[in-house]
Amino acid sequence: MKSKVFLTLFSLPFLCVGLWMLYSVSSNALDASQMQHWDRTPAQVISGGYKTNHGDDSTTYTAYGTFRYIYQGREYTSERVAISGGGDNIGDFQQELGNRLSRAADNKKPIDVYVNPKDPTEAIVSRDLRWGMVGFKMIFVILFGGAGAGMLIYAIKSKTIPDSLPPEFADRPWMANDAWATNEIKSNAKIAMYVTWGFAVVWCSISAPLPFVLYEEVFEKNNYPALLGYLFPFVGIFIVIWAVRSTLQWRKFGQIPVVLNPFPGSIGGQVGGTIETRYPYDPTNKFLLRLSSIYSYESGSGKNRSRSERLNWQDEAISHTEMGLYGTRIVFRFDVPPELPTSDYFNRGRDYNLWRLNVTADLPGVDLDQDYEIPVYPTAQKSTLSGRDLENAANATAEMATENAKRRFQIINGSSGQEFLYPFGRNLGAAFTALLAGVIFTAAAAFMLIHEHMYFFGSVFLIFGVPITLGGIYMASNSLHVFKDSSGGIVSQRRIFGIPVHRGYAFVDGMGPLTTSSHFSSQSGNKHVKHFKVHGAGRDGRKITLGEGFHGEREAKAATAIICDVLGIYN
């Protein structure tokens, strides 16, 4: 309850800023609409120009003027030159208007002003609505007002989580969560759609003015490094596409529930269940399920605080499918090892553990992709789902792991038999992302150092940019060649652009069982992939890399079996 009260109070300033800006935009728009009916009248400018105000971070300009006009035989004086008062630096409006008034005052030439026929004391020089200013204020309306409204709605509608487990749920902690009160749990498809659109609106609101601002910098001031700024609206296009796809999936599949069996999912036992979809049954469609134990944690503090996830354990399987009540029924079952962390529902402070089930399928039109946060506790219960169909699904999963492992390497014929080649360019997606980020950081560093003489910030950007760029080049250019030599030893040779840079060696007869290891995992949205290597150790205990780039433990184990078979290693 304290968190809800704090969130409510925290949201009010954001909401007030958004409402204030919305009132300003609406008021200016209403004034502009009414002024279209004001009468045009010549006026003599007494004085005019613009003032320049230098702040800590920017310079603003304020046009001013005093003019005299005659309306219906009476003389009036006014000082209102634009719809909205105050200074700004949005475009050149203030400078141009100020210069216009200054020239008119110096040349003694009359200008046209607009007079309110209902109140002739009111007159204005420029009655046009400034769309650049409207766009600037709407950023505050969307960002601050939207954030404030979102936080307020969440604080009102969200359910209060007690600080400790109520005594009546001591032996069934999952029952304290209303979403886990039964074994039927809905996906987060609807929430994901809203979050995606919220992110898209925020990103596009921030980046939308950039093309207009950058146009002057690039094409009028010849500041070509500023072209990098166009990346932000370009990325915004892809975020909008992502949001549209999320909406189409929601409209097509809805919030499909999963029915767990056993309930809750069991650490040291099994996680299984069924998912009833309204998609027409087709036995050729494959549905892939991924079960993940995830550690969610916060890093940083204050405005630099961020939340990240780390993968504890993961398994994936092809499900069995059959004709369901409405379309396709998905049936799945996972074996879960003991000693994994339980689902944390209470005490969700900075760090907690959660279990996520993801189901995906490549289908005609819109693909299926939905997540579930499910309860998993150490009950050691088995699923009552069994039969030959699930055994066939397990076999299909093993075949999928083997086929995926084979995609990571090439088996070629060498002088001493078959050899493994992990070619360069196999990580082009990650390499391109790293190169793009590295080039942006390095270019920003060069601009700061050379043009702006900002040596501290330029050096910081350079420290990050150069290693990231080199890392991207390495990911794109490195290859691994594993083969047997004439003496029966195994050679593991690393190459960059085809040039050998490292060589590992081990004798087969002194090699123990092959091992797998994972040093990092990648994340895309809510999906995690753990990347594995396969190692062998020689007589001296030194490890050599026999394979790499395998996604998940199943794939790494399948690759281990292939490597042992081809190289003649007893494992």
Domain contains 378: yes
Contact present, 519 and 281 (Cβ < 8 Å): no
Written as one string, the DSSP assignment of 117-157 is TT-TT-EES-----HHHHHHHHHHIIIIIHHHHHHHHHHHH
Judge if 238 and 371 occupy the same domain.
yes
d(CA 372, CA 190): 11
d(CA 253, CA 239): 21
Is the pLDDT reported for residue 162 higher than 60?
no
pTM of the model: 0.71
Considering its fold, how many domains does the chain have in total?
3
Domain contains 1: no
Q: Is residue 250 very low, low, confident or very high in pLDDT (cuts 50, 70, 90)?
A: confident
Judge if 74 and 200 occupy the same domain.
no
Domain contains 146: no
Q: In this predicted model, what pLDDT tens digit does every residue of 352-400 receive, in sequence order?
A: 899 999 999 999 888 999 999 999 999 989 999 887 788 888 889 999 9
Specify burial of residue 178 (Cβ count, 10 A radius: 0-12, 13-18, 19+).
exposed
Distances (CA, A) of 567 to 39, 411, 488, 500, 555: 92, 11, 10, 21, 18
Q: What pLDDT was estimated at residue 14?
A: 83
Q: What pLDDT was estimated at residue 109?
A: 92
d(CA 436, CA 465): 10
Q: What pLDDT was estimated at residue 440?
A: 82
Helix 189-207, helix 131-140: angle, nearest 10: 140
Contacts 24+ apart (CB under 8 A), 535-541: 536/490, 536/506, 536/511, 536/512, 536/569, 537/506, 537/511, 537/512, 538/505, 538/506, 538/507, 538/510, 538/511, 539/506, 539/507, 539/510
- Average of pLDDT values for 258-285? 93
Residue 181 tokens read as 């009160």
- Average of pLDDT values for 546-568? 92
Domain contains 187: yes
Contact present, 416 and 485 (Cβ < 8 Å): yes
Judge if 248 and 120 occupy the same domain.
no
**SS3 category, 276:** strand
Is the pLDDT reported for residue 290 higher than 90?
yes
Judge if 209 and 343 occupy the same domain.
yes
Last residue of a domain, one of 342, 362, 390: 390
Parent domain of 358: 172-390
